[in-house]
Structure 1
Amino acid sequence: MINHLRHMAVFARVVDEGSFRQAAKRLNLAPSRTSQTVADLEQYLGVTLLYRSTRKLVLTNEGSKFYVHALEMLRNAEAGLNELNALSQQHIGTLRISLPAFLTSSTLSTVIAEFAKQYPKVSLSLTFSDHIVDILNEGIDMSIRVGWLQDSTMMARKLYDGRRLLVASKEYVATRPTPSHPTDLLSWDWIRFDIRTNSVEFESATGEKVSITENTRFSVNSADALACFAKNHMGLAYLPEHIVAEDIKKGNLIHVLPDWKLKPLGYYAVWPNKSRRENLTLLLVRFLAEHC
């Protein structure tokens, strides 16, 4: 029985990583050894846990049920280790984190690097994607979410608010009358980020609030692409300040309607209610909140 606890841990890692090769890399084992360990577990249980193909692994019904128990075993084991780590002040373990792709070069990434330097025994695996990841199914310990959180069973902490700026290229702005009010932009071309609505909310220094709808025929699924096409004279785009600040400084982009503010973005840390690495997750969350 004790030997098969290790088999369960390997099986759970394979499911989390989605491949034998990636799991082997995380566990510092040969891929063949990882595959054989799961095969031995299947033989012991008398059921198939995973369907294998050249492209991906898929859990069987039995595998899905068994994964829940393997996960619970790991949670309990890691909770014990985390408790001892907390008592000994030695922070050891691995955290898997997901972040929006537009944060690859940002203050937040810099702070995560500082965390890694301060806690050299904590390993970090970062995934950058502009699409929301499934924290539970993908084995993510903590996710950075940007925007406005919906009600959720997840734990969350707001880290900070970030400004967004409305921009367009100097060449594009030169083809239009100088705007003084958001409604002057109704006929302008917009580049839309396809994971958000096409409604844009403005607020003036006097508190006037205006909402307009983007006039768009061009959409992208990447914040970096938004900036790229704005610089290529395709129209208006609104982006986090850190992405466009340098281009505004160089004159590649113009800050349009600077006297009007766009609704700021909330930056949140989100993690499962029952985290497998609760102490390490909370340690990182507190570090981010203090330094961002």
Structure 2
Amino acid sequence: MIEHLRHMAVFARVVDEGSFRAAAKAIGLAPSRISETVSDLESFLGVTLLYRTTRKIALTNEGRMFYARVAEMLRSAENGLNELNALSLEPVGALRVSMPAFMSSSSLATAIAEFIRQHPQVAVSIIFTDGPMDLLEDGFDVNIRAGWLDDSAMMSRKLGESDRALVVGAHYAASRPRPRHPADLEDWDWLRYKYRPDHTTLRGPEGKPVKVLGQARLETNSIDALYHFTCQNLGVTVLPEHLAARGEATGELVRLLPEWQLVPLGFYAVWPDTSRRESLTLLFVRFIAERLGKLNKNQRAFD
């Protein structure tokens, strides 16, 4: 029986993910190996658990009853790990995390690396994406989100902020008169990030906000791509401070209207209030927040 516990966990992951291929990607095995594992379990039990088609899978009646028991078993195992982690000096387990792709080389990623070094018994799987990810549907323990919180049922903690900068390619800037007011940028080409408003709001030295719409010449769902296209002198955009500073250091980007301020971008850790790995999740979030909080107050935590 013991040798089939792993088979049962794989079966449950196939059901949770909705396909053999998705389960294989989540577990890190070949789809053929996942299919073989489920087939071995069916042979052992003497029943068919899944209906298989070329496009999807579906639970049989036996599979539905068995999945409920397996899911209960796995929840009990997760709870046991949580209880042990709460008592143990050395946490053990696995965390699945999503975070913005443009933060892959930021202080946030450095803090996560430090967490991994200090906790060798914890395995962390990180998905980098600039688009929104669903905690429950996508199977994450923690989402790190930039600038948006819309899940009132979720637990959350603010990790810090990143300054943002208005920048343009150096050659593009040289071809235009130097702007002295945001209104001067209305007829410039703009590069937009898909998940942000079409307008850009800046606050002047006196604190009065001014909105600039501008004509979007390009829209993308990737901040890293936005950085690259701006360096290619396609127009004006708003970038996180650490990317703006990188482009400025190489001479590829120029800051515009430095006396005008953009609203900083907030970063949050979000997790379910019934997390599978509650103690491990809280340990991770607390560690990251504390490490970032120790940075010099004159330096943004994500710059």
TM over 0.5: yes
Which residue matches 2:296?
none
Equivalent residue runs for 1:201-280 within 5 Å: 201-280=201-280
Q: Deviations over 1:38-64 (max 9, x none)?
A: 2355564855436354xx754558678
Which residue matches 1:289?
289
**Per-residue deviation, 1:83:** 0.8
Distance of aligned partners of 1:46 and 1:276 in 2 relative to their CA distance in 1, 3 Å threshold: same
Between the aligned partners of 2:76 and 2:197, the Cα distance in structure 1 is: 41
For residue 86 of structure 2, give the secondary structure of its aligned residue in structure 1.
helix
Which residue matches 1:179?
179
**Per-residue deviation, 1:72:** 4.5
Runs of 5+ consecutive residues of structure 1 not aligned to the other structure: none
Residue 126 (1) aligns with residue 132 (2): no
Runs of 5+ consecutive residues of structure 2 not aligned to the other structure: 293-303
Between the aligned partners of 1:45 and 1:79, the Cα distance in structure 2 is: 30
CA root-mean-square deviation: 2.7
Between the aligned partners of 1:250 and 1:23, the Cα distance in structure 2 is: 38
Between the aligned partners of 2:74 and 2:141, the Cα distance in structure 1 is: 13
Count of residue correspondences: 287
Residue 150 (1) aligns with residue 150 (2): yes
**Per-residue deviation, 1:33:** 5.5
Between the aligned partners of 2:24 and 2:58, the Cα distance in structure 1 is: 17
Which residue matches 2:97?
97
For residue 114 of structure 1, give the secondary structure of its aligned residue in structure 2.
helix
Between the aligned partners of 1:268 and 1:13, the Cα distance in structure 2 is: 28
Between the aligned partners of 1:100 and 1:88, the Cα distance in structure 2 is: 31
Distance of aligned partners of 1:222 and 1:159 in 2 relative to their CA distance in 1, 3 Å threshold: same
Distance of aligned partners of 1:110 and 1:40 in 2 relative to their CA distance in 1, 3 Å threshold: same
Between the aligned partners of 2:13 and 2:284, the Cα distance in structure 1 is: 22
Residue 81 (1) aligns with residue 84 (2): no
**Per-residue deviation, 1:152:** 2.7
Amino acid at match of 1:251: G
Which residue matches 2:50?
49
Structure 1 contact 193–222 (Cα < 8 Å) conserved = yes
Structure 2 contact 85–280 (Cα < 8 Å) conserved = no
Between the aligned partners of 1:215 and 1:45, the Cα distance in structure 2 is: 64
Distance of aligned partners of 1:288 and 1:66 in 2 relative to their CA distance in 1, 3 Å threshold: farther
Between the aligned partners of 1:49 and 1:22, the Cα distance in structure 2 is: 19
Amino acid at match of 2:52: Y
- Range with bigger deviation, 119-128 or 220-229: 220-229
Which residue matches 2:8?
8
**Per-residue deviation, 1:225:** 1.1
Structure 1 contact 75–275 (Cα < 8 Å) conserved = no
Distance of aligned partners of 1:51 and 1:130 in 2 relative to their CA distance in 1, 3 Å threshold: farther
Structure 1 contact 157–269 (Cα < 8 Å) conserved = yes
Structure 2 contact 49–64 (Cα < 8 Å) conserved = no
Taking every aligned residue pair, what percent have the same amino acid on both sides?
Answer: 49
